[in-house]
Amino acid sequence: MARFSRAVILLGIVSLFMDVASEMLYPVGPIYLTVVLGASMAWLGIIEGIAEAISGLSKGYFGALSDASGRRRPFVTLGYGLSALSKPLPGIFGSVASVLTSRVVDRVGKGIRTAPRDALLAGHSTPETRGAVFGFHRAMDTIGAAIGPCIALMYLAWHPGDYVTIYLIAIIPGILATLATLGIREKRFTPTIRRTGLAELFRFWREASGDYRVVVIWLTLFAVANSSDAFLLLRARGAGFGDTGTIGAYVIYNLIFALAALPAGRLSDRFGRRRILVTGLVIFAAAYVLFAVAAGSIMIWAAFTLYGLFSALTDGVSKAWISDMIPNDQRGRAIGLQTALASIGTLVASTWTGFVWTYAGGMVPLLVTACVALVATAGLATSARRSRVQPGT
């Protein structure tokens, strides 16, 4: 941690607190929606898809807006604040509509903060340390993602089936995360654009490097097949896991992710982003095959372990790779556009997965996802081989 700036460390703490809040609810949410409120798998797919689509559209817009303003931190504070306030809504109102509203407001908050936050992280790193910086941030984020389900697990052990109180408790770490953002000092920069919106994003796409466009295209293809993790939790439940086992499997996934994220970032600094990212996508395909054919708890545990490795090898590494290609004053648009397209891809993936799962069972969409991931892997492995770090990054 001595190698990282104060802003990087604070952003890690912020993400830790917010993920404690979010991940208390994430494994509980599908159970609450489908078991307590009686919604179908198709409804789960629709809600997750709508939330991710709204998140995606806002990521692109607010990424460009942060480039135009020359500021990042106000967007980070506003985004975390909205997400914190969204947490207790399903517990207060107890309806499918409140679950949808909560997810939408939470994703809008994520859309506002994601690109400015990642651009802020990139601005507090060098090309030689960028993988480690993003890896550290993902590790802190995922430690929170492991703590949150543990809190939910302990509470449900004492009060089985009391999901409502968990929604109410989640606002506390969310508020702490928002307050911590106020201590971040940013390096202001001179904007090179004044316009925002879709027209600016299209112009940026036309003028961006070929390597950037190639990487974004393959990552978007992957996103079109990669549905919400909520389906994996319900797959565990379908394999015979109860509430404790389902949440425990999610904790294992997050612990693996947290432990491997910083080493994965450092490996990408040393051996290159593309190699590490491609390795992660191959592991993803293997994990989804295991989820599809799992006949018992051992295979489900193994699948969640592989899935944690995949996340560690791809999440921060992909952001570091894109940051390498783009100068500082354009990173809000670059990261915002890529994450926007990925979120829209998740809308498509969650929607079709929900319907196919409802009418054909879980094996078909899981195997299709694994196949598409391998296609995207081949594309990234054979493209963008000569990505160069841009001057001033």
Please state the separation of Cα 3 from the chain's center in Å.
Answer: 25
d(CA 29, CA 160): 15
With left for phi above 0 and alpha for psi between -120 and 50, is residue 240 left, alpha or beta?
left
Its pTM stands at: 0.78
Query: What's the confidence (pLDDT) of residue 393?
Result: 52
Query: What's the confidence (pLDDT) of residue 196?
Result: 62
**Nearest of 57, 34, 60 to residue 45 by alpha carbon:** 34
- Domains of the chain, CATH where assigned: 6-382 (1.20.1250.20)
Contact present, 369 and 287 (Cβ < 8 Å): no
Contact present, 136 and 262 (Cβ < 8 Å): yes
Which residue matches tokens 């294992």? 252
Q: Give whole-number Cα distances, 8 to 129, 132, 149, 307, in Å.
A: 12, 11, 25, 26
Quick one: DSSP state of residue 390?
A: P
Query: What's the confidence (pLDDT) of residue 113?
Result: 93
Q: CA 71, 61, 112: angle at the middle one, nearest 5?
A: 60
Query: What's the confidence (pLDDT) of residue 391?
Result: 42
Which ranges of the chain have pLDDT less than 50?
386-392
Structure tokens, 63 = 């990424």
Query: What's the confidence (pLDDT) of residue 389?
Result: 47
